[in-house]
Amino acid sequence: MAWFLIPQTLAMGWVAAIGRVVLELFGADTQEEGIPGRIVGALLLLGMVFVIRRLLGGTLPVVGNPDGNGYRFGHRLILTGNILAVALFIFQLAWHWLPSPDVVMVLAQFTSAFGYWVMPLWAVGFSFIYQSTQPAQPRHPPADN
């Protein structure tokens, strides 16, 4: 798991840094680890993926087969990832209103962990949805008579 999270952590840092640079080019004063830089960086990354997929002639959303193997499980993983991402986003916007610094510290650790779990949940969920479109393979080769 650590080998998967190290490149993801580096990529998230670069995305946030690019978003911060874009905001500063437009005159906004941002903090090094600020949320606005992360949001702008994530939107730029999403836009880049969308443009690349359009140029290659594909569709951005994965279209699965509801009757296929793993379709529902994939959607549940993606839903779980979305809920964790929303919890992280809401905490980052609302932590100033929490009364106790101890509660803020504990919730900050949990929501940071949520951020690291979101990407694997999305990746595995989309993989299961994609797998649902593949034709079923026989488990055993037919016996010779």
What's the pLDDT at 35?
Answer: 65
HSE (side-chain half, CA atoms, 13 Å) at 10: 5
What's the pLDDT at 2?
Answer: 62
DSSP summary character for residue 96: G
Cβ atoms of 89 and 111 within 8 Å: the answer is no
What's the pLDDT at 38?
Answer: 73
What's the pLDDT at 73?
Answer: 92
Give CA–CA dist 86/52, Å, rounded.
26
What's the pLDDT at 118?
Answer: 82
What's the pLDDT at 114?
Answer: 76
What's the pLDDT at 8?
Answer: 66
What's the pLDDT at 54?
Answer: 76
Nearest to 78 by CA among 16, 15, 132: 132
Nearest to 39 by CA among 52, 60, 20: 20
Go through 93-106 and write b for each residue having 16 or more CB atoms within 10 A of its CB, e for each that does not: eeeeeeeeeeeeee
What's the pLDDT at 123?
Answer: 84
Continuous segment of H or E residues that includes residue 68 = none
Residue-wise pLDDT tens digits, 7-20 = 766 777 788 888 88
Burial of 67 by CB count in 10 Å (0-12 exposed, 13-18 middle, 19+ buried)?
Answer: exposed
What's the pLDDT at 15?
Answer: 80
Tally of CB atoms within 10 A around 41: 22
Nearest to 39 by CA among 12, 71, 64: 12
Low-confidence ranges of the chain (pLDDT < 70): 1-5, 8-9, 32-35, 57-62, 135-145
Which residue has 């500063």 as its token pair? 24
